Structure 1
Amino acid sequence: MKGAAWTYVAFFSRRFVTFLSTMVLVRFVGPEGFGLMAAALLVIRYFDAVNDAGVGAAMVQYQSDPEKTVNVAMLISLGMGIVLTTLSVLSAPYVANFFHQPELKALLWFLSPIFLFSSFAQVQGYWLKKTFRFAERVVPEISSVLVKAFVSILFAILGFGVWSLAFGQMSGQITASIAYWRVTRNQLSLAFDRKIAYRLLSFGTKLSVITFVGILSQTVDQVVIARYLDASQLGYFVLGSMLPELAVMGVCVSASQVFFPTFSRVQAKPRLLRASYLLSLKYVVMITFPVAIGVAIVAEDFVTIAYSELWAASVPIIQILALSALLKSVAFSAGDVLKATGKTGLLSRLIVLRLVISVPVLLLFVGKGIVAIALVTLGTNIVVMAITMVVVMRQLSARPSALLFAILPALIATGVMALACVGITLVGADLNVFTRLILTILTGALVYGVTLWMLDRTSCETVINFVARKDLV
């Protein structure tokens, strides 16, 4: 409970700062600049997937000799940081040619040292997760996003365009590395043990490959857009995906920081693992379902107010990808179960399946524009979510009725909320945009809360009591 509380503090703080900074930046950096930076960050994300060779997550999963294990993991992570910085510099010209964006070369050269800086923080972050010291992660997480936002906005106002985003990205990572190092500097050191290194790399390299393929499968739509369409189209698509990612998938990512170490601890107790998974799913969808549908409903008014009409092309992207994020949230923690139980091979096959399904269809429809790309992503997630849930429920020996029981209250309450919100938007069509947006949000929150209380009062009381606790710190 304490871990979840601190994780959500860091999560919501980061998301709130990112949201505010984006509202400012879109007024100084146009769609083309955002698209160019998005292409650079795609490359950074792919390299970052293997930045520590997976030893951070392997350390969480590996339960023996924790102190020595983390020190070995740190040495491996530092070595990988040096290797990836070098590879990023060398590959920059080829990446720029692939995306037909000459400006990418200089951006990637500038951003390449980010892997070296992050190698000083990744294992420390995993160590704090493993030891359930989530409160100590708050300062590094929040300070990094604050510095990133400040630097990006400052240079954007000064007219640096896309480079303001690059300066912010780099400064945020440096801040995170320094902050994490200060938290753990007297507890961790570099060490090497051949046996431990072998065990970490045996599990970690498999996990790195899975992570890499997973990120590729989640971002292949952006790769296709960057390759075959212009940078401005990628900018519209990326900004459109940002709100569903922040509001919906951010909840899943944040919760995963707690779920993975928790599932790892109970991996040898099937009944407890099954109960933990179903309970985690229930509380995640209590948040993600209404948020996803709410985002889809208010997308047009939100973009007009927060981003300006310049970004109107992002509205249908937000709506479609919000529905896609809803589906992904159902299956998200299933990956934590498979990782915690060592079923990395099964997880990798599910991820490859997503690529096999999506890539040919994306290439077929890329000429239809970014809305068609978003619809392909939604369709792919429908298929993959269904298959993933079947696989995981079998692994846990859980009945389909257990899954339905976990998500049904949130599903019904969200449906009632959606009807109320759509009604408000229709009745209030002549209202001021800001007034209509606020009225829709308040109505949706009230209707959802009341309906969920009527359907599942016990779970609501559990959440209220958890939030009201005074011992969370």
Structure 2
Amino acid sequence: MTGSEPEGARVPDASGRPTPAAPSTARQTAWNYLVFALSKSSTLLMTIVVARILSPTEFGIFALAILVVNLFDYVKDLGVASALVQNRRDWRDLAPTGLTLSVLFGLFASGLLAATAGVAARALGEPELTELIRVLAVGLAISALSTIPAAWLRRSMNFSARLMPEFAGAVAKTGLTIGLAAAGFGVWSLAYGQLAASVIMTILYWRVARIRPGFAFNGPVCRELVRFGLPVTAVTLLAYAIYNVDYLAVGERLGATELGLYSMAYRIPELLVLSLCVVISEVLFSALSGLQDDRDVLTRHYLQALTVVAALTIPIGIGLAVAAQPAVGTLYGSAYAESAPILSVLAIYATVYSASFHAGDVFKAIGRPGILTAINAGKLAVLVGPIWWAAGHSALAVAVALLSVEALHFLVRMTVLCRLTSTSWLSIAGALCRPAAAAVPMGLVLVGVSHVIDGLADPLELAVMVVVGLCVYVLILRFTAAHLVKSAFETVRARISRSAATPATTKEDL
């Protein structure tokens, strides 16, 4: 290995058998969330500013380009990154072959993307997409080079090291995009900003990971990585289809302008709810992989994580649903007012989706990614018809169809989880209902508040609703899930005490 053993590594018990130690998921999730918060706040700032410069149509065109690019981005390493995290071989045996595979797969994927850009543009009816996709293909090739250092940081549970590359990339993307948009580059400002972020993040990932594997090829290692990675890739491809069928349907049947409104509405719950799930998932999958030989400990760890996820995502989703109109007006301006009702539905969709999101981490950690493939294939089969039909009516109808199918998907995922582990529906209900019992009354209070303060400027209305919602939620949560509130306050108090005990740096110290 290139560093110390990862936190949560298994140590022998008295009998000499390896037993999983409890990984510090909470601490590493906090670091990963800091990385997320800093990078996504930059992205949100960029979106807010650029929304005042670019039109919904330009955002719609870029959304179509990303739709094509993501197909290749999702499969650019054929699951090698996930296999490197899950595989328990010594890192020195895995890394050289992993590096060779990830670079070759990445270059092939980006080359194929560039070669088929014209075909994709014609199929989507937007000729401007050809060159846009080719520029983004360069960024895809560059980002493939960061697969190995990023996988090492996840495997070693060193999520704090991701802070520099992620934040620096986000800042560069934000600054360049805003500058180019203001200079009149239009939709190209978004593409060049994305490219700049890929370059900076790849360079810095190699710097902070402090690993230097060489290119090599080991047949048995390759087979192990690909054997695990291919089912993960199948899951990823299905996830791509599921995540993007609504974009494709709206873009094809309603046009770029409607897609721009829909994608901007989706972006808010994506940043605040779905990205949070991704942040936690990266840590949780690493932690659960280390616990894969002890199903009872793994199940307890998952349920603890689910409780925290629910306590964060349910109030955000319900709050967004109620405060959609002032949120859109504050963030995007009046040109995007039609996004508000779409946002209300998508916020609830994101909340339902987050409730079953991490069941997938369990399936992958126990070496059963094929289960995800089967579940997602069924979801896609059910999803396509309603989404395509809804797109013939309105973008709002598409959001409603998405929510309806997601409710069914939740039931299927959790049923399979209960059958494969010691998880029960009662324990799942306990993890979800305690936060929900505080979030639902909060939403009802916000509905009343919104009628009282209707007519205020959107930023002021949003600020009032955020403050009131937070206070009501925390107050009720003290009764429905007192241990969560107590744990949160104790963590904050410990951080403050530790900071106060640290001597301040003076000029004489420098």
For the aligned pair, the TM-score class normalised by the smaller chain equals over 0.9
TM (normalized to structure 1)? 0.97
- The match for 2:136 among 102, 111, 115 is 111
Contact 1:301 1:433 in 2 (8 A): yes
C-alpha contact (below 8 Å) 2:42/2:170 kept by paired residues:
yes
Q: 1:169: Cα distance to partner?
A: 0.7
Partner of 1:426: 451
Q: For residue 219 of structure 1, what is the aligned residue in structure 2? A: 244
Aligned residue in 1 for 2:261 = 236
Within 1, Cα distance between the matches of 2:217 and 2:334? 56
Provide Cα deviations, 1:221-253, integer angstroms capped at 9, x if missing partner: 101122222111111110010001001111101
The unaligned stretches of length 5 or more in structure 1 are none
1:167 equivalent among 192, 196, 211: 192
* Distance across 1 between alignment mates of 2:45 and 2:171: 11
Taking structure 2 as the reference length, the TM-score comes to 0.90
1:113 aligns to what SS in structure 2?
A: helix
1:398 CA drift (Å): 2.1
Separation (CA, whole Å) in 1 of partners of 2:305 and 2:280: 8
Q: Return the alpha-carbon distance in structure 1 between the equivalents of residues 110 and 254 of structure 2.
A: 28
User: How many Å separate the matches in 1 of 2:64 and 2:319?
Assistant: 29
Shift of 1:186: 4.2
Identity of aligned residues (%): 30
Summarize deviations over 1:252-301 as a string: whole Å, max 9, x none: 01100110011111111011011111111000010000000111111101
Indicate the residue corresponding to 1:101 in structure 2: 126
CA offset at residue 469 of structure 1?
A: 4.1
Report what 1:282 is aligned to: 307
Report which stretch shifted further, 423-432 or 194-203. Answer: 423-432
1:255-270 mapped onto 2 (5 Å cutoff): 255-270=280-295
How far apart, in 1, do the equivalents of 2:492 and 2:63 lie?
Answer: 36
**Are 2:110 and 2:137, in contact at CA under 8 Å, matched by a contact in 1?**
yes
- Residue 433 of structure 2: aligned partner: 408
Cα distance in structure 1, aligned partners of 2:210 and 2:424: 47
Displacement of 1:189 in angstroms is: 3.0
Q: Is 1:176 paired with 2:214? A: no
Q: For residues 393 and 304 of structure 1, what CA distance do their matches in structure 2 show?
A: 42
**How far did 1:42 drift?**
1.0
1:70-117: CA deviation from partner (whole Å, max 9, x where unpaired): 221111110011101210111111101111111111111111112210
Confirm or deny that 1:347 pairs with 2:372.
Answer: yes
User: 1:384 is aligned with what amino acid?
Assistant: H
Query: 1:198 & 1:306 partners in 2: Cα distance?
Result: 48
- Correspondence 1:242-321 to 2 at 5 A: 242-321=267-346
Deviations 1:316-362 (A, max 9, x none): 11111000000001000001000111111211011111110110112
Aligned-partner Cα distance in 2 for 1:32–1:271: 51
Structure 2 spans left out of the alignment, 5+ residues: 1-25, 500-510
Question: Is 1:49 aligned with 2:71?
Answer: no
Structure 1 2/231 Cα, relative in aligned 2: closer, same or farther at 3 Å? Answer: same
| Distance (whole Å) between structure 2 residues aligned to residue 135 and residue 237 of structure 1 | 34
Q: What is the aligned counterpart of 1:158 among 159, 169, 183?
A: 183
**d(CA) in 1 for partners of 2:450 and 2:314?**
19
**1:447 alignment counterpart:** 472
Q: Deviations over 1:373-402 (max 9, x none)?
A: 111111110111111111112211322111
Structure 1 residue 190 corresponds to structure 2 residue 190:
no
Contact 2:173 2:194 in 1 (8 A): yes
Counterpart AA for 1:2: R
Paired residues for 1:386-405 under 5 Å = 386-405=411-430
1:140 & 1:334 partners in 2: Cα distance? Answer: 29
Partners of 1:240 and 1:318 within 8 A in 2: yes
Task: Give the whole-Å Cα distance in 2 for the aligned partners of 1:182 and 1:438.
Answer: 40
**Cα distance between partner residues in 2 of 1:433 and 1:245:** 21
- Number of residue pairs matched by the alignment: 472
Q: How far, CA to CA, are the matches of 1:254 and 1:468 in structure 2?
A: 24
Report if the CA contact (8 A) 1:206-1:344 is conserved. yes
Amino acid corresponding to residue 79 of structure 1 in structure 2: L
* 1:2 Cα offset (Å): 2.6
How far apart, CA to CA, are the structure 2 residues paired with 1:28 and 1:167? 16
Q: Which residue identity does 1:366 align to in structure 2?
A: A
The amino acid across from 1:218 in the alignment is Y
Letter in 2 for 1:221: D
Confirm or deny: 8 A CA contact 1:140 1:180 kept in the other structure.
yes
Letter in 2 for 1:161: G
How has the CA–CA distance of structure 1 residues 345 and 366 changed in structure 2, closer, same or farther, with 3 Å as cutoff?
same
Q: CA deviation at 1:454?
A: 1.9
Deviations 1:385-441 (A, max 9, x none): 111111112211322111111112101000111111111101112333332221111
Aligned mate of 2:398, from 373, 398, 404: 373
Q: For 2:116, what is the secondary structure of its paired residue? A: helix
RMSD between aligned alpha carbons?
1.4
Partner of 2:226: 201
CA distance in 1, matches of 2:194, 2:27: 30
Larger deviation, residues 204-213 vs 179-188: 179-188
Task: Give the conservation status (yes or no) of the 8 Å contact 1:68–1:191.
Answer: no
